[in-house]
Amino acid sequence: MRIGSVEINPGALLAPMEAVTDLPFRTVCEELGAALTFTEFLSAEALTRGAVKAVGRMWPSLGGRRFAVQIFGRETGALARAAAMAVDVGAAIVDINMGCPAKKVTAGACGSALMREPELAAELVAAVRAAVPAEVPVTVKHRAGWDESSLNAAEFARRLVDAGAAMITVHGRTRAQGFSGAARLPPIAEVRAALPREIPVVGNGDVKDVEAHERMRRETGCDAVMIGRGAMGNPWLFRTLAALARGAPDPGPPTLAERLARRRVWRRHAGLVLEHSPEKMRLHELRKTLAWYSRGLYGGSALRQRASSTGAPAALIDLGEAFFAGLETAGAGPDAGAPLTTPADPVAKAVARHGRRIGLGPMEAQEPRIEQSIEERADTCLRAAS
């Protein structure tokens, strides 16, 4: 797929998500096959006044990988300056958010509120197009419409393309829906039919597995699919979709060994958090990684409960190591005839319950070790990830 002068490898795109698509998560998804990743959506006004938090989220991808920066606002000057800043840090694409349904965004008549002002929306696209080099595509992500009475995605998209947009991403819900209900595919298909073939249309909404991805492609005719919440804790989905896009066989659902390999991906993600996340955010981000990668695994609930009361990054790393080590021990299938112990540790208890269900033997609890410094734990984690 080509977006202007930028050629994108086969596979799915990672959607921009606030407090989710930070540098560590983008990196994990890129390494597992995401065709393109987007930063969290960033306020153009905050960027242009040099707000540390906003500027810090515009971090380039590691290893020179291409990435897109998503910005939002309703002032042409601010959006143009923010777009130029994005190009300065290496963005291959500048994306304008016209789809966010959050009240804090739409209250300022930004995000999906712009779908009620198509003329202004087109002016914003034109301003950004004029502010960045010709080889940097300007793209837009918007929704099916503001509400049920204004499903104007196709007409809205045409205006944006006429103003200079090189790609349109459509989320199949209205602003009024937020993230409730089901994403609709007909509005995405209408946008695809309304635009020239050289303008890629990307479908977004409710794609959490291969079946949903194939349905999105089949029923909308979209050129690619963008995955948001479906990637949280499941970045392996990008690997599968990239393989299918290349014409390779469907790898199928993860085997037990691959599910247990979450430990390796979690280590990589946690190591990136320790290396790149602001210090005051590390606890929160590490807890989030544990929640994501333990989802659906035995003992995950107990792990998340314990992580919420653990107050040091080093202790969270140890907690995760103990949890995943326990799962790997259970998955290895020790002597089924040996007696089971009932450890006091809640995580080990959960793993022991798993063992009883499938006839496994004993497994000792691993208590967190917090004698190492955070820096030492970071080094250990990064060495393990590499």
Residues annotated as part of the active site: 100
**How large is the greatest C-alpha to C-alpha distance in the chain, in angstroms?**
73
CA distances from 150 to 74, 143, 147, 194, 240 (A): 20, 11, 5, 17, 36
Rounded to an integer, what distance in angstroms lies between the CA atom of residue 71 and that of residue 291?
28
For 164, the token pair is: 């200079």
Distance, in Å, from the CA atom of 295 to the CA atom of 5, rounded to the nearest integer, reads 39
Cα gap 144→151, rounded to integer Å: 6
Q: Can you count the helices (H) and strands (E) in the chain? A: 17, 11
Distances from the Cα of 161 to the Cα of 84, 205, 375, angstroms: 20, 22, 49
Closest CA to 43 of 65, 16, 23: 16
Upper half-sphere CA count for residue 50 (Cβ side, 13 Å): 0
Residue 376 token pair: 């030492």
Task: Please give the helix or strand (H or E) that residue 122 lies within, else none.
Answer: helix 118-131
For every residue of 25-58, DSSP letters joined together read HHHHHHHTT-SEEBPPPEEHHHHHTT-HHHHHT-
Contact criterion met (CB below 8 Å) for 354 and 303: no
Distance CA 268, CA 265 (A): 5
